[in-house]
Amino acid sequence: MKKIGILRGMESSFPEALIDHINADYANKKVTASFVSIDTVRMDGDPEYDVIIDRISHEVSFYRSYLKWASMKGTYVINNPFWWSADDKFIDNLIAEKAGVAVPRTAILPHKDHPPNTKSNSFRNLKYPIDWESVFEYIGFPAYLKPHDGGGWRGVSKVRSALEFFKAYDDSGTDCMMLQEDIDFEAYYRCYCIGRKDVHVMPYNPKAEHQLRYSSVRDEAVPPKLKKKITKDVLALCNTLGYDMNTVEFAVRDGVPYAIDFMNPAPDADFNSVGKENFDWVVKSTAKFAVAKALEKRTVYPDFDLNRALGKNAG
């Protein structure tokens, strides 16, 4: 029997539905799904799962390390814990540009407050005073100030002037913040992408109340040409970044989709937030991909070359 494990935190609805769906629809393929169950992790152990779907390691570093271990020992982890540990939203903007996807002009800023375990002496490389004028000139106002590793709209502010910027920046604490060009959009979309192949484009209204962001625009048709372009961009991003499960958001200005938020390796898939149709899509598509991976032969983390890591010549 092949085993798929789900690793989750406070989240309910999506993980349970995924387990039920796999166990009901793929029993004849000899695949079973359950919640991951672990305590300590020994170097000499072996992972019990063929596939793990990770919904929480961004908040629990013990889980992240466990997933790297499992990955090196042959478990296929959705999403790749090595890459998820490496990238950030700023650097992903550069990658998007290279993949031919339009993104807003973006800059990162030095932390407002000292990160934990640092003091003034830790920042002797920083120029002072900071040349704010040049970054304001590059980005323009209005602009968005947001963390380079954010989620759930934490610390996101729209700032209309230097004065508003400094107020928001003063409140940003120890986060590394990005200042980003505002895309004054005529339409906004959020897209699931599963297995770097299946794309589901959802009209999304970020100006509505949280619980109405999908439902208030559910019946809006996506113009076919725009849908084609968005689908192409989603696939380019998820394949270049190597995320098997992601949501990609676009703000459309003058007919051009700009990727706004596309580093969501544990995307919101809550029934009450995304609604029945989107929920059913993401459950089915994730199950299909996870099962396909479970049925593949186990290999160690595909890009990990021990000889290279140890500085030896292969062979």
Ligand X SMILES: Nc1ncnc2c1ncn2[C@@H]1O[C@H](COP(=O)(O)OP(=O)(O)OP(=O)(O)O)[C@@H](O)[C@H]1O
**Interface contacts to Mg ion, rule CB under 5 A:** 249, 261
Minimum CB distance to ligand X, residue 261 (Å): 3
Contact region with ligand X (CB under 6 A), list: 63-71, 119-127, 258-266, 272-280: 258-266
Indicate the residue among 50 and 249 with the shorter CB distance to Mg ion.
249
Binding flag, residue 278, ligand X (CB under 6 A): no
Structure tokens at 183: 């895309």
Minimum CB distance to ligand X, residue 153 (Å): 5
Contact region with ligand X (CB under 6 A), list: 5-13, 53-61, 144-152, 228-236: 144-152
Quick one: how many helices (H) and strands (E) in the chain? 10, 12
Applying CB under 6 A, which of residues 21, 64, 68, 146 lies at the interface with ligand X?
146
Cα(202)–Cα(188) distance, rounded to whole angstroms?
Answer: 9
Question: Is the Cβ–Cβ distance between 154 and 163 less than 8 Å?
Answer: no
What is the number of the residue whose Cβ is closest to ligand X? 206
Minimum CB distance to ligand X, residue 56 (Å): 15
Site string for ligand X, 154-193 (x = CB under 6 A): x-x-----------------------xxxx----------
CA distances from 78 to 13, 88, 259, 291 (A): 18, 18, 22, 12
For residue 221, the one-letter residue type is: A
Applying CB under 6 A, which of residues 57, 77, 249, 288 lies at the interface with ligand X?
249
Give the per-residue SS3 of 47-65: CCCCEEEECCCCCCHHHHH
Task: Identify the helix (H) or strand (E) that includes residue 178.
Answer: strand 177-181
Cα(266)–Cα(8) distance, rounded to whole angstroms?
Answer: 10
Q: Which residues contact residue 82 at a Cβ distance below 8 angstroms, ignoring those fewer than 6 apart?
A: 68, 71, 301, 303
Applying CB under 6 A, which of residues 261, 288, 289, 293 lies at the interface with ligand X?
261
Residue 80: CB atoms within 10 A of its CB come to: 22
Structure tokens at 20: 């039920």
Q: Which does 202 bind (CB under 5 to 8 A by kind): Mg ion, ligand X, none?
A: none
For residue 168, the one-letter residue type is: A
Indicate the residue among 70 and 101 with the shorter CB distance to ligand X.
101
Binding flag, residue 264, ligand X (CB under 6 A): yes
Say if strands 177-181 and 143-147 run parallel, antiparallel, or are unpaired. antiparallel
Of 1, 15, 4, 82, the C-alpha closest to 50 is 4
Site string for ligand X, 203-242 (x = CB under 6 A): ---x------------------------------------
Minimum CB distance to ligand X, residue 50 (Å): 29
Applying CB under 6 A, which residues contact ligand X? 104, 144, 146, 150-154, 156, 180-183, 206, 249, 251, 260-261, 264
